[in-house]
Amino acid sequence: MASIINGIRKIFLNRNTATILAVFAGVIILWFFYNMMVENAISPQKVPIATRDITATEIITAEDYEYVEVNSDFLKNASVIVNSNQLVGYYIANGTSVVKGAMFYKSQVVEKEDLVERDSENIPDGYSLYWLKVDNTTTYANSIYPGDKIDLWLKATDNGQIIYDEFIHSIDVLQVKDSKGQNVFDSTVPKTPAWLSFAVKDDMLKYFKAIENTSGMQLYPVPRNKLYTIEGQEVDYSNDLLKALIENYAQLS
């Protein structure tokens, strides 16, 4: 027995044998760590996805998501939410939406106080928020977008004659909303427009309100091309005769 032990000891004490065993052990260790890294890279991880189309400003509930498995390697470069604790009770941010079957990206999910809810918060001094009632036809098949500069034309009847001419030049469209007050373009499927909002100079507001409340008068939006939006001039009246007509009908001072 002692001779067997001495023989094994000599083998392990042999420099060449020790080197071979060390290399073999190193290969085994490297193989183990390599397989562990590969398994971690390709092993699936569960992430929440939307069970319905969720539009901007909607609160997320427990019924709005379910879990699916995705490649964990994908998640290294994707800023997506993996824990439902970061979803339930949170809201979809303004200007975005999550379609059914899509993952929730961190930039799309915010707390309630981070929603932009007040339409008038960015209206400068000397201006008022004005909402013009529209529909799919008067917005040219929903082709007017927030940020566009457009003209507003007045249609009126004067002594039996129909007048239709440009009244306001180069006004900015702030928002486009549907009949429920939701932003039309926050959804993956655009809604039917019902209102356009503008920041109107205080001295203009009385004309807008007079038109709104005078029978036979109506404002119509007229979109222009992209260059007009980019290089649009300052908002101003286009026609002093129309101003006088409104003043006469509404008895404005």
Task: Determine the Cα–Cα distance for residues 75 and 58; give it in Å rounded to an integer.
Answer: 25
Task: Determine the Cα–Cα distance for residues 70 and 1; give it in Å rounded to an integer.
Answer: 58
pTM: 0.56
Tens of pLDDT, residue by residue over 68-127, are 988 877 777 778 888 889 999 999 887 788 889 988 988 889 888 777 655 666 688 888
Nearest to 93 by CA among 105, 75, 78, 84: 105
Which residue has 């001779």 as its token pair? Answer: 3
Beta strands in 53-126 (DSSP E): 65-71, 91-92, 109-110
Which residue has 């007048």 as its token pair? Answer: 163
Residue 215 — pLDDT band, cuts 50, 70, 90?
confident
The domain limits of the chain are 2-42, 44-114, 127-250
Tens of pLDDT, residue by residue over 175-210, are 898 887 788 887 667 789 999 999 998 889 999 999
What per-residue confidence (pLDDT) applies to 33?
A: 53
- CATH of 44-114 given 3.90.1210.10, 3.40.50.620, 3.30.420.40, 1.10.10.10: 3.90.1210.10
What per-residue confidence (pLDDT) applies to 196?
A: 94
Residue 32 has pLDDT above 60, yes or no: no
Element (DSSP H or E) covering residue 163:
strand 161-172
What per-residue confidence (pLDDT) applies to 90?
A: 93
Task: Determine the Cα–Cα distance for residues 154 and 50; give it in Å rounded to an integer.
Answer: 45
What per-residue confidence (pLDDT) applies to 222?
A: 94
